[in-house]
Amino acid sequence: MIDANHIETLRALLGEKGLLTEPSDMAAYEAGARYDKGRAAFVARPASTQETSAVVSYCVKNGIALVPQSGNTGLVSGSTPDSSGQEGILSLDRLTAPFALDRVNRTLAAGAGLRLSDVNQRLEQAGLFFPIDLGADPRLGGMIATNTGGSRFLRYGDVRRNTLGLTVVLADEDGTVLDLGSGLRKNNTGVDWKQLFIGTSGAFGIVTECVLNLEPLPRQTATAFLVPDAADRVPDLLVAMEDALGSYLSAFEGMSKNAVEAALAHAPSLRNPFQGGIVPDFVILAEISRTSPPREGEQLLDAVLEEVLAAIWEREDAPLADAFVGPPHEMWALRHALSEGVKHSGRLIAFDLSFRRGDIMRFLDHMKAEMPAHFADVTICDFGHIGDGGVHFNLVVPADDPRLADEGFESALREWVFKVAVEDFGGSYSAEHAIGRKNQVFYDRYTPDEIRRLAKGLKAITSPAPLGCVTF
C-alpha cells in the first residue's frame, strides 16, 4: 500500500467524505460489472473540478497511478484497479454539479458524476432527454470516455454526436484544467479538442463536466416485432423500413432465439408474445416515434407502422415472414431483459462487435455454423443494434464446464472470435465498450503503427502520468 503520509494529504484535500481507505468501503469500487476485480490503494471522491485537479496534481507529483472510475458499469475491465494495491481509484460519483438547463439552446451543462437516469428524470418536465438509451445506468463521464451508443443510435447517434463541450483535468504535475465547453453547435475555429477525450477511455484526461445536446422527448411511439423471412433478408428489411419511414424509424434491434429464451427463463414476469410460445430464430424490435403530440385527424403511429409492414409483406420478394404491433413498454421490457437473462444462463464471455450493416448477419450465420467445430457446447446468445451494425455477441458456457478452470480456454475463444470479426469480416472488436484491460492486446494488434505512434504522442502531451487502464 502507499505511504500513510500520502493518505493524510489526500484526506486533507478531499475531506472525510472524499477519501475512502477501509476495505469494506472500497469493495464496490474494486469489483467491476463483469468478473473483474482489483485492489485499490484508496478511492478518491472529489466533489468539484478544482478538487479533482488538486488530487491529480498531488498524485502525479508523487508517482501515484490513478484509475478514473465513473459508474463502474463497463464490461472490459476499464475502470477497476489491478491487483497490486498501488493504484488509486478516482471516482466521479460526487461530481454531480452543475445541472444547468438552457431550454432555448436545448443543452445541459452537467457534472460528469450524474447518472443517466437522474439526468433524464430531471429533464422530463422540460420535455427533453439525453438520447442515449442503455440497459445499464452509467454516469455521464464514463459515457463520454467510452462514447456509448445504445438502442436508438439509428436516430440520435452516439455520445460523440451529442457532446458539445467538456471540462477536463489532465494528468500532469499542475492538474491542468481545460475548459472545452461552449455550448455552441457550430464552431470551426480550429481543432475540436473535446473529441480527443471522447471514446479514449479516460487515458488523455478526466472529464469532470460536460455540455450535452438534448432532444425533444418522443410524444408518440409504436413498436413491432418483425420476423425476417431468413437471416440474409434482414438487411433488405432494414432498408425497406428506412425507405418507408425515414426519420420516424428510431430503433431496429436484433434478438436471437437463444437470447430471448434466456430472458424469458430468467424473468418469468415477462409475457411470451410469440404464437404458441415458440420463439423465432431471429426477431427484430422496430420502433417508430414522433416528438409532436397527436393532432386531430392525424394517422396514429400504430396505424402507420401496420400500413408500412403490410406494404412490405405484400411485395413479391417480401423479406418479412411475420410481424405484429404491440405495446412499446412490453416489447422494450423483453429487449432490456436480454442482458440479465444471458448473464444468468451460465458463464458469460461477451463481445461487443460492429460491422458494416450488410455484413452483420453474414458474420452471425458464419459463427453459428463454425462454433460447434471450434468450441463445442458454447451457446451463442446474440442481440444488438442491427440498425447501426452493432452486435452483442454473447457466448455462454455451462457454469460447471471444466474448461473454465483453464485460463487458456477463454483466451483462445477471444482470439478466434476477434480474428474472424476483424480479419475476415472487417469489423471492430469494440463497438461501444472502448478498450480496457480485456481489449488491450487487440488494440496493440490491430491498430496501425502510425496511429499508435500518434496516440502515444498525444498521451505524452496531454496526460504524461499513468492514467486509467489503457496503454496508448
Helix 257-266 / helix 328-336 crossing angle, nearest 10 deg:
100
Average pLDDT over residues 142-147: 95
pLDDT (tens digit per residue) in 119-129: 999 999 999 99
pLDDT at 181: 80
pLDDT at 14: 97
Average pLDDT over residues 172-189: 94
- Is-contact 132 116, C-beta < 8 A? yes
Average pLDDT over residues 84-90: 95
- Is-contact 138 95, C-beta < 8 A? no
In this predicted structure, the answer to whether residue 1 has a pLDDT above a threshold of 80 is no
Query: How many Å apart are CA 439 and CA 441, to the nearest integer?
Result: 6
- Is-contact 332 223, C-beta < 8 A? yes
Q: 52 falls in which pLDDT band (50, 70, 90)?
A: very high
pLDDT, averaged across the chain = 95
pLDDT at 78: 87
Spell out the residues 6+ positions from residue 407 whose beta carbon is closer than 8 angstroms to its own: none
The strand pairing partners of 129, in sequence order, are: 215
Q: 32 falls in which pLDDT band (50, 70, 90)?
A: confident
Q: 407 falls in which pLDDT band (50, 70, 90)?
A: confident
* Domains 220-267+283-331 and 346-446 equal at CATH topology level: yes
pLDDT (tens digit per residue) in 314-334: 999 999 999 999 999 999 999
- Is-contact 237 319, C-beta < 8 A? yes
pLDDT at 303: 96
The strand pairing partners of 225, in sequence order, are: 285, 324
In this predicted structure, the answer to whether residue 118 has a pLDDT above a threshold of 80 is yes
Domain boundaries, the chain: 4-91, 220-267+283-331, 346-446
Query: How many Å apart are CA 439 and CA 366, to the nearest integer?
Result: 23
All cell numbers assigned to 303: 396505424
Distance of CA 444 to the CA centre of its chain: 22
DSSP 234: H
From 3.40.50.2000, 3.30.43.10, 3.40.50.720, 3.40.50.10860, which CATH number describes the 4-91 domain? 3.30.43.10
Q: 113 falls in which pLDDT band (50, 70, 90)?
A: very high
pLDDT at 254: 97
Cite the DSSP H helix spans in 314-448: 328-336, 338-343, 360-374, 407-418, 436-446
Query: How many Å apart are CA 125 and CA 217, to the nearest integer?
Result: 10
All cell numbers assigned to 171: 494528468
From 3.30.70.2740, 3.40.640.10, 3.40.50.720, 3.30.360.10, which CATH number describes the 346-446 domain? 3.30.70.2740
- Is-contact 282 234, C-beta < 8 A? yes
Q: 266 falls in which pLDDT band (50, 70, 90)?
A: very high
The strand pairing partners of 181, in sequence order, are: 165
Query: How many Å apart are CA 34 and CA 438, to the nearest integer?
Result: 11
Pairing outcome for strands 66-69 and 87-91: parallel
Query: At CA 201, angle to CA 200 and CA 202, rounded to 5?
Result: 95
Cite the DSSP H helix spans in 217-296: 234-245, 257-266
Cis bond leading into 235, ω under 30°?
Answer: no
Least confident window among 53-57, 189-193, 387-391, 433-437: 433-437
All cell numbers assigned to 195: 473529441
| Cut 0.85: pTM above it | yes
Distance of CA 462 to the CA centre of its chain: 25
pLDDT at 108: 98
- Burial (0-12, 13-18, 19+ Cβ within 10 Å), 192: exposed
CATH class, domain 220-267+283-331, is alpha beta
Average pLDDT over residues 44-55: 98
The strand pairing partners of 320, in sequence order, are: 228
Average pLDDT over residues 3-15: 96
- Is-contact 355 425, C-beta < 8 A? yes
Backbone angles phi, psi at 297, to 5 degrees: 85, -5
End-to-end CA distance of the chain: 26
- Is-contact 130 164, C-beta < 8 A? no
